[in-house]
């Protein structure tokens, strides 16, 4: 069965630190890739997406992600995090007719 793995369930960083959240998927065919974010008390929202083209995609709030097909990965990055980035981040992969979700990574930024 297709699966999505997010390696870190909890990440704690200080403000201004660099961030990289891992996401790996198991499907070998054509995929669409997504990162969603859920800020405390808010609804899930799309952070960025990759369908095709440049494997480095930029999203809102300074986030970016790189699709590496050979590694089945779509890691999320941000050069310098802020306290307001505290949230839960979900990676999702569309391999056909359904989105497959990772378990999520809770990110806590210490002021």
Partner 1 sequence: KAGVTQTPRYLIKTRGQQVTLSCSPISGHRSVSWYQQTPGQGLQFLFEYFSETQRNKGNFPGRFSGRQFSNSRSEMNVSTLELGDSALYLCASSRSAGGDTGELFFGEGSRLTVL
Q: How far is the CB of 56 from partner 1 (least distance, A)?
A: 19
Q: Which is nearer to partner 1, 78 or 102 (CB)?
A: 102
Number of H helices, E strands in the chain: 0, 12
Task: Report if residue 77 touches partner 1, rule: CB under 8 A.
Answer: no
Per CB under 8 A, the segment of 16-24, 57-65, 75-83, 101-109 that binds partner 1 is 101-109
Q: By CB under 8 A, is residue 96 in contact with partner 1? A: yes
Cβ–Cβ < 8 Å for 7, 25? no
92 contributes a contact to partner 1 by CB under 8 A: yes
Q: Which of 32, 39, 74, 84 binds partner 1 (CB under 8 A)?
A: 32
| 11: Cβ contacts below 8 Å, ≥ 6 apart | 19, 21, 105, 106, 107, 108
5 counts as binding partner 1 under rule CB under 8 A: no
Q: CB-wise, 81 or 91, nearer to partner 1?
A: 91
Residues 6+ apart with CB under 8 A from 46: 34, 35, 36, 59
Distance, CA of 43 to CA of 55 (rounded, Å) = 27
Binding site for partner 1 (CB under 8 A): 32, 34, 36, 42-46, 49, 90, 92, 94, 96-99, 101-104
């Amino acid at each position: 069965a297709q699966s999505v793995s997010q390696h870190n369930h909890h990440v704690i960083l200080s403000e201004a630190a660099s961030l990289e959240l891992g996401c790996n998927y198991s499907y070998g065919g054509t995929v669409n890739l997504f990162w969603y974010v859920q800020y405390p008390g808010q609804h899930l929202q799309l952070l960025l997406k990759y369908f095709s083209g440049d494997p480095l995609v930029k999203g809102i709030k300074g986030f970016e992600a790189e699709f590496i097909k050979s590694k089945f990965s779509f890691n999320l990055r941000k050069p310098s995090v802020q306290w307001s980035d505290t949230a839960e981040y979900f990676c999702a992969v569309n391999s056909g007719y359904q989105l497959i979700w990772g378990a999520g990574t809770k990110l806590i930024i210490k002021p």
